[in-house]
Amino acid sequence: MVESDRVMLNTLSGALKTSKDFELLSTYRDFKSALGQSSIYNPNLFLVDIDDAEAFKTLPGFVEVFPNAVILGTLSEWNADFAYKAQKCGITGCIIKPFTPQDIVETINLYNKRGKSEPSRIITFFSPKGRAGRTTLAALLALDLAKKSNESVALIDADLQFGDLPIFFDLEPKHTVIDAAHDIKLLTPSAFAPYFHEVTKNLYLLSSPDRPEYAELVEAQQLVDVVRMAGHIFRYLLIDLPSGFNPISLAVSDFANINFTVAMINTGLEVAHMKRTLDLFKARRGHMHIDYPIFTRVNPCTEEQKQKLENQIAHHITEIFPNEYNLVSIANSGRILYGLPQDTLMMKTISKLADEIIAGKL
C-alpha cells in the first residue's frame, strides 16, 4: 500500500491486518520507494494513493513492472478526471478511502467483470428526427458487443421523454436515469453498479423514466457525470440520445468516442437533414471529432446506393441498413432477446460494426 497521509495509512493498514483475505506485505508513503522496493515481495495487489497528482508519473511504472498485479488507485472522494487519468495509465481501477477488506474484494470483482484495463468506449446514437431506427440499432449492437467481446456492456436510455429500451427487452427496471443523475455525486462505482439492470450475460441497462415530465429533472452535466462514472464499470457504453439538438444530446455526444448519426430514408428530406446535422457537428466540434453517419430503410441497399448517398451529403457513410420489418417488429414487441434471425443483411451489418468497434477500427 502506498498512502501519503499517515493517519489514513494507519487506518487502512489496521483494517487489512485483521482480515483473513489479505496479507499486507509493506506500506510506503512515497511512490518511488514503493516502486523500487516492492519487487522483493512479489505482490499481486497494489493500493496506490492517487489524491496526489504526482502519482500519475509513477503509475505506468507499476503497470510495467507488475503486469499481472491488480492495481487500485485510492481516492478520498470520487474525482472523474483523476480516475480517468489513472485508467489511461493502465491500472485496474479506483476505490474510495476509507475502505474495508470487503470493499476491496467487491471492487476487484467489479473490474474483473468489466474487461480490459483501458478507458471505456463511449458510443452515442443521435438522430435529427425521431423514428430513424436509432434505438433498434443501439439495442442490437449492444447485444452483439456483449456476446462477442465477453466484456461488460451498458445501454443508457437517455431519451428521457420517450425512451423505449425497457420495452425492447420486456423489462421493468427498479432504477432509472433520473435516480442515477440525482444520486451520482454521492456514489462510487461499486455503489453505482446496482442501478443497472442485468439484461443478459455481459449486458446491462440503465432505463429511461416512465413519465415524460421527469425529463425536466435531469441536467446535461448530471448525465455526463453518470456516463463518466459508468465508464469505470463497463467496457462499452452505448447511449440512446433524444432526437434533435438539445443540451443533453449535444453534451453527451461531444463526450463520446463514436457518435452514430442515424437517419431513415423516407421522403428524401432525410438526406438534407443528415448533411445539415453533420455540418453543424463539424462547426461545433471541428475536425478532431469524427461523426459516423448511418442510413436506415435504404432501398436498394447496395454499394451503388451508398455511394450515391455519400455524394449527396459529401461525407463518408459508415453503414446503410435495409428495411427489415420482421426484425424491427421483433424488437418493438419486446422479443429482442429471443429468436432474432442472424442471417439477415441487417444483422450481418450489425455484426460487422461490432467487430470494427472491438478491433478499434472505429
Q: Which three cell numbers stand for residue 85?
A: 487519468
Helix, strand, or coil here: 162?
Answer: coil
Domain with CATH 3.40.50.300 in the chain: 121-358
Q: Which three cell numbers stand for residue 184?
A: 451520482
121-358 folds as Rossmann fold (3.40.50)
- The Cα–Cα gap between 178 and 235 comes to 22
176 near 208, Cβ under 8 Å?
yes
Query: pLDDT (tens digit, 0 to 9) for every residue of the chain, 362 residues total?
Result: 999 999 999 999 999 999 999 999 999 998 888 988 988 998 999 999 999 888 899 999 999 999 999 999 999 999 999 999 999 999 999 999 999 999 999 999 999 999 988 889 999 999 998 888 899 999 999 999 999 999 999 999 999 988 889 988 888 889 999 999 999 999 999 999 999 999 999 999 999 988 888 888 899 999 999 999 999 999 999 999 999 999 999 999 998 999 999 999 987 789 999 999 999 998 887 766 778 999 999 999 999 999 999 999 999 999 999 987 777 677 666 678 776 777 889 899 999 999 999 999 99
Q: Go through 133-155 and write b for each residue having 16 or more CB atoms within 10 A of its CB, e for each that does not.
A: bbbbbbbbbbbbbbeebebbbbb
- Report which DSSP code applies to 90: T
Tell me how many helices (H) and strands (E) the chain has. 15, 11
122 near 240, Cβ under 8 Å?
no
| Beta bridge mates, 47 | 72
**Which helix (H) or strand (E) segment is 345 a member of?**
helix 345-358
What integer pLDDT is reported at residue 211 of this predicted model?
Answer: 84
- The Cα–Cα gap between 197 and 195 comes to 7
Domain with CATH 3.40.50.2300 in the chain: 6-114
Nearest to 68 by CA among 90, 50, 53: 90
Residues in the chain: 362
What is the pTM for the complete model shown?
0.91
275 near 313, Cβ under 8 Å?
yes
CATH superfamily of 6-114: Response regulator (3.40.50.2300)
- Report which DSSP code applies to 317: -
Q: Which three cell numbers stand for residue 244?
A: 434533435
